[in-house]
A and B are shown apart, each in its own frame.
Chain A
């Protein structure tokens, strides 16, 4: 009686993880020295399909271990334990300019991981896999609570870790794309921080006129955190990406209400009208709109809108007045904001003022603008609608996939470490344990 061979086995661990957790992936029970393709597939909330794949050869025992073995090609190569996630891109035939962002944080990203015979680069849907498993990737740990915030005129979503607290907190600011983006706050809360994802780009109507929010809006948001019964009011930080960095730096220096314990600034700049409101900042940027460039595919490059870095002190936040530690994260191939030039200028200003010991800059070659939590795909360019307008563009963010993937992984680890150091541990000489 001929025995039908059992399928190869795909062992993925853990089968349910947080979005920033690594997994181990092993294939066994293959034939020896067999060509195989490992493939990952996501069906996004928006209905698009994203995939990644790597080409491997099993060893003499029919074994492939993604942690040790080299991918010989595909959407990533070399020894890349998490390449199947960070190298994902829309499947051929997808709509263009896509970005993979999880809107619904109560459910996981579901990833189908399959192993196929041979070295394939397309046609995965038409082929039956040798084996496949499913892994869930969560932004929210069990026990994290999500609360809509509308008090004090502030629009946002608050995430609370499980447990009695009190906890340190974060004000979480995204960039010019606007909207209410929750996933980073959900993830930060899964690491023990109360986090408020703030919506601030939508102009508000009051008294018949529509305008951008003023500085008091951010102060109100900070106060929501400070007054929350489970937040330790002295341990609040601001995390900003892109435009959010501008807000963070401006508020930290000029606001009397906002006194963060530390700042994390990703892909941003200190260049903005001093003490200006959001409207002032936009106004200043628009003055330079002629500096917009386009790449060979007609994608918008906005990095020059803030260049050259002004010498006029009224045109940039006086970072010499910063009193708290700042972590600057910069992608050297950022095509959207002049993050590298800004970071250099900030360092100079702070050295002159004598507070440069507060500044830590992490600069990543080959990384672009959208430095997000790790293992999410790199987006070199995507559709963009300027908040408050109906103008649709394709914006070039920059970066190359592999270095950008590594930048996300490395920077996130360091961000968590930095936040833990400054928010969970006191560097205050007069501090005492509350235990």
Chain B
């Protein structure tokens, strides 16, 4: 059996979640139709896959970074398509979302090359070659610490090294629970970051979140950590977490963030009130909920029209720190485009618009997450108060959403470094 064997290489075989991979197949016959396929077995025991159709060149090579996929779950020259276009395999449960809950282990992805242009039946066919790659949220020596202090519940991640480091208080949205992976990834980039739980899933656990001091206490925990530089702590929020961040930045007398990153969030929130008040207001406006043609919940109208009453939205003129807003124009969950426009107007009128940076992405949805993770146009959601299961429409289309995730993450890291890691000589920093 003497012949050529296809050579599939994926580099790096172990990478951080936001690192690119190079996928190359060599040693194929020229002009051969092949399918590149990725497979991931999630923590929830679902199977996720992506695939692209290619034709080998005159040397029998397929280079995913340069060659165009002719079809599959992504098309065109997409170096990372095998990751961001992943979707549940046919026959899976519906409404799934892929989230890594255990950050101490990597996401393991099997990348294979198959003969021919296949769109299904991958598990029944033997591939020509397979490589295994690991995707990590945690860089080596990042330290994970459970925080249970003064009623505050979260997870703190410390970068390797003697420090001191800037800090981040990291808040997710109305889905609740304790979601660690973004903080873990931030620590892998040199920030002490605490993922904060403020809407526990466990109803038996009482949380201090009724009081607005909960978030201030959480901020202080980060700020007072011996490895954290006290005046370099940022707020980072997505969705409801972004609204919380804006509320704190504008009204807290106790804490003062160095800068804020707000993804898919709005300033329209009961001003300076506890979270419970937010849910009461949402219930009141619940009649504005719409449903799409598949019965999926569309919440974007709940805060519309943007109120003019200053008791119903954060007074953006009070923001004193640099603020980065990230907005998906197809956000079906929260009226973030309208909110961003209104925030800009308010800051212009107040004279602090120079603090504002807006990143706005056409056809991106609500769940703008770290790059190369799959897009979810809709997924299962458990209502915080009633525990009712619905399917929530988040919006966005896969390719533009993936591009948005990739672009904004780089800019977010850059923004955080600029404001939290300034150059000691105050010389303009070189761009890498």
Partner of A168, one of B5, B13, B165, B432: B5
A418 to chain B, nearest CB (A): 14
Whether, in the assembled complex, B247 has its beta carbon less than 8 Å from a beta carbon of chain A, the answer is no
- Of A38-46, A138-146, A295-303, the segment with at least 4 beta carbons within 8 Å of chain B is A138-146
B423 contacts A143, CB within 8 Å? no
Whether, in the assembled complex, B310 has its beta carbon less than 8 Å from a beta carbon of chain A, the answer is no
Q: How far is the CA of A94 from the CA of B223 in the complex (A)?
A: 41
**Hey, what's the 0/1 contact readout for A153-174 against B, CB within 8 Å counting as 1?**
0000000001110111000000
Q: A17-B12, A61-B423 are in contact. Are A428 and B2 (CB under 8 A)?
A: yes
Partner of B129, one of A131, A163, A426: A163
A379 to chain B, nearest CB (A): 26
Whether, in the assembled complex, B346 has its beta carbon less than 8 Å from a beta carbon of chain A, the answer is no
A63 neighbours in B (Cβ, 8 Å): 430
A164 contacts B126, CB within 8 Å? yes
Whether, in the assembled complex, A190 has its beta carbon less than 8 Å from a beta carbon of chain B, the answer is yes
Whether, in the assembled complex, A232 has its beta carbon less than 8 Å from a beta carbon of chain B, the answer is yes
Q: How far is the CA of A18 from the CA of B14 in the complex (A)?
A: 9
Q: A14-B12, A61-B423, A163-B112 are in contact. Are A7 and B4 (CB under 8 A)?
A: no
Whether, in the assembled complex, A147 has its beta carbon less than 8 Å from a beta carbon of chain B, the answer is no
**Hey, what's the 0/1 contact readout for B378-396 against A, CB within 8 Å counting as 1?**
0000000000000000000
A31 contacts B425, CB within 8 Å? yes
B105 to chain A, nearest CB (A): 12
Whether, in the assembled complex, B91 has its beta carbon less than 8 Å from a beta carbon of chain A, the answer is no
The size bracket of the interface on B is 35 or more
Partner of A431, one of B2, B129, B417: B2
A6 contacts B420, CB within 8 Å? yes
B422 neighbours in A (Cβ, 8 Å): 5-6
B231 neighbours in A (Cβ, 8 Å): 1, 3-4
Whether, in the assembled complex, A192 has its beta carbon less than 8 Å from a beta carbon of chain B, the answer is yes
Q: Which residue on B lies nearest to A30, using beta carbons?
A: B424
Sample of 28 A–B contacts (CB below 8 Å): A3-B231, A7-B161, A7-B164, A9-B421, A11-B432, A15-B188, A17-B14, A18-B13, A26-B432, A28-B430, A29-B424, A30-B424, A61-B430, A131-B161, A131-B162, A133-B160, A135-B140, A138-B14, A141-B131, A143-B131, A143-B132, A162-B110, A162-B130, A164-B126, A235-B5, A431-B3, A434-B5, A435-B115
Q: Which residue on B lies nearest to A18, using beta carbons?
A: B13
**Hey, what's the 0/1 contact readout for B69-85 against A, CB within 8 Å counting as 1?**
00000000000000000
B320 to chain A, nearest CB (A): 14
Q: Residue among A11, A129, A133, A168 with the most chain B CB within 10 A? A: A133
Given A7-B165, A62-B424, A434-B3, 12 more pairs with CB closer than 8 A: A5-B422, A6-B166, A6-B229, A7-B162, A14-B19, A29-B423, A130-B162, A134-B139, A134-B141, A142-B133, A162-B130, A168-B5
A8 to chain B, nearest CB (A): 8
B420 neighbours in A (Cβ, 8 Å): 6
A16 contacts B423, CB within 8 Å? no
Whether, in the assembled complex, A21 has its beta carbon less than 8 Å from a beta carbon of chain B, the answer is yes
A110 neighbours in B (Cβ, 8 Å): 140
Whether, in the assembled complex, A391 has its beta carbon less than 8 Å from a beta carbon of chain B, the answer is no
Partner of A132, one of B161, B423, B424: B161
A62 contacts B423, CB within 8 Å? yes
Whether, in the assembled complex, A367 has its beta carbon less than 8 Å from a beta carbon of chain B, the answer is no
A235 to chain B, nearest CB (A): 7
Partner of A134, one of B160, B417, B432: B160
Q: A13-B19, A62-B427 are in contact. Are A425 and B14 (CB under 8 A)?
A: no
B104 neighbours in A (Cβ, 8 Å): none
Q: Which A residues, 419 to 434, have Cβ-Cβ distances below 8 Å to chain B?
A: 420, 424-426, 428, 431-434
Residues of B within 8 A of A (CB): 1-9, 11-16, 19, 27-29, 32, 108, 110, 112, 115, 126-134, 136, 139-141, 160-166, 188, 190, 229-232, 417, 420-425, 427-430, 432
Q: Which A residues, 180 to 208, have Cβ-Cβ distances below 8 Å to chain B?
A: 190, 192
Whether, in the assembled complex, A10 has its beta carbon less than 8 Å from a beta carbon of chain B, the answer is yes
A190 neighbours in B (Cβ, 8 Å): 13
A233 contacts B132, CB within 8 Å? no
B421 contacts A424, CB within 8 Å? no
Q: A16-B136, A142-B134 are in contact. Are A31 and B424 (CB under 8 A)?
A: yes
A74 to chain B, nearest CB (A): 20
B429 contacts A61, CB within 8 Å? yes
Q: A16-B14, A164-B130, A425-B27 are in contact. Are A433 and B3 (CB under 8 A)?
A: yes
How many chain A residues touch B (Cβ–Cβ < 8 Å)? 63
B4 contacts A431, CB within 8 Å? yes
B161 contacts A10, CB within 8 Å? yes
Q: Residue among A10, A190, A424 with the most chain B CB within 10 A? A: A424
A141 contacts B32, CB within 8 Å? no
Q: Which residue on B lies nearest to A114, using beta carbons?
A: B161
Q: How far is the CA of A6 from the CA of B427 in the complex (A)?
A: 15
Partner of B160, one of A21, A132, A234: A132
B424 contacts A435, CB within 8 Å? no
Q: Which residue on B lies nearest to A62, using beta carbons?
A: B423
Q: Which residue on B lies nearest to A3, using beta carbons?
A: B231
B28 contacts A16, CB within 8 Å? no
Q: How far is the CA of A53 from the CA of B279 in the complex (A)?
A: 57
Q: A1-B231, A14-B12, A32-B427 are in contact. Are A424 and B4 (CB under 8 A)?
A: yes
Q: How far is the CA of A108 from the CA of B423 in the complex (A)?
A: 34
A424 to chain B, nearest CB (A): 5
Whether, in the assembled complex, A91 has its beta carbon less than 8 Å from a beta carbon of chain B, the answer is no
Whether, in the assembled complex, A136 has its beta carbon less than 8 Å from a beta carbon of chain B, the answer is yes
B427 contacts A129, CB within 8 Å? no
Q: How far is the CA of A425 from the CA of B29 in the complex (A)?
A: 11
B140 contacts A433, CB within 8 Å? no
B5 contacts A166, CB within 8 Å? yes
B127 contacts A60, CB within 8 Å? no
B128 neighbours in A (Cβ, 8 Å): 435
Q: Which residue on B lies nearest to A17, using beta carbons?
A: B12
B15 contacts A424, CB within 8 Å? no
Q: Which residue on B lies nearest to A430, using beta carbons?
A: B2
Q: A4-B231, A435-B32 are in contact. Are A133 and B139 (CB under 8 A)?
A: yes
B164 contacts A32, CB within 8 Å? no
A432 contacts B165, CB within 8 Å? no
Q: Which residue on A lies nearest to B3, using beta carbons?
A: A434
Q: How far is the CA of A190 from the CA of B13 in the complex (A)?
A: 10
Q: How far is the CA of A197 from the CA of B144 in the complex (A)?
A: 38
A435 contacts B29, CB within 8 Å? yes
A13 neighbours in B (Cβ, 8 Å): 19
Q: How far is the CA of A232 from the CA of B2 in the complex (A)?
A: 8
Q: How far is the CA of A166 from the CA of B5 in the complex (A)?
A: 8
A79 neighbours in B (Cβ, 8 Å): none
A14 neighbours in B (Cβ, 8 Å): 12, 14-16, 19
Partner of A15, one of B16, B112, B165, B429: B16
B140 contacts A134, CB within 8 Å? yes
